[in-house]
Amino acid sequence: MFTGLIETIGTVVSIMPSSEVVELTVQAPAIASELRLGDSVSLSGACNTVTFFDANSFKVQMMPETQARTKLGRLKTGSPVNLERAMRLDSRLDGHLVAGHVDGMASVSKIESLDKTKKIYFSAPEEILAGIVEKGSVTIDGVSLTVIDAERDFFSVGVIPTTLAETTLKDLKAGDVVNIETDMIGKYIKKFMEAAFCEKNGGEKVKNSLTWDKLTEYGWN
């Protein structure tokens, strides 16, 4: 479990494919020496398990699912990644509850520079947009952010100077792909509503995902 508050930016220094997994070596002297084997670390929003560490770097192994569902499969040597170690239960919870289980990817459609801050617009698949609400929380490349606009075909967030300076979001440009994790609590609400609609629909499962069109179809105003 994570909070979406990035601790440091690491750099991918090695990518080693094998038969079933891809091993990444990430240079991260700010946190590497404090890691332990089996620790969970969020790499740009995707939870991975530490398989090796030393004073300057650590290694993780990516399953095919991680490579296919997240942008980690597109990383190259030299790519920067946002890093966060698993949260502690004896400390304050800033940000929001983040599982590190990426729901999918979105692409940057537009960036508005507002003096020292930025407003970033994203396009995403319908199933991702269905889980994003205005003023709700969303995790973008591991960063906890508050949604400004939540429309049927896009959403936007505002990024303050501190977040820009301390994360990879400062380097985003139109067309770039990011990892998205929607709000955990919202997912459970969506699951309960889908179950209710299934019962109302005579036991037939609501196909694919709960969307605005699906809500309208079942009488949601």
Structure tokens at 174: 């139109």
Please give the helix or strand (H or E) that residue 99 lies within, else none.
Answer: none
Domains and CATH numbers, the chain: 8-85 (2.40.30.20), 104-183 (2.40.30.20), 185-217 (no CATH)
Q: What is the DSSP letter of 139?
A: E
- Single pTM value for the model: 0.85
**Closest CA relative to residue 71, chosen from 176, 159, 166, 196:** 176
Cβ-Cβ contacts under 8 Å for 209 (sequence gap 6 or more) = 126, 127, 130
- Better pLDDT: 116 or 19: 116
- How do residues 48-94 score in pLDDT, each as one tens digit? 999 999 999 999 999 999 999 999 999 999 999 999 999 877 776 77
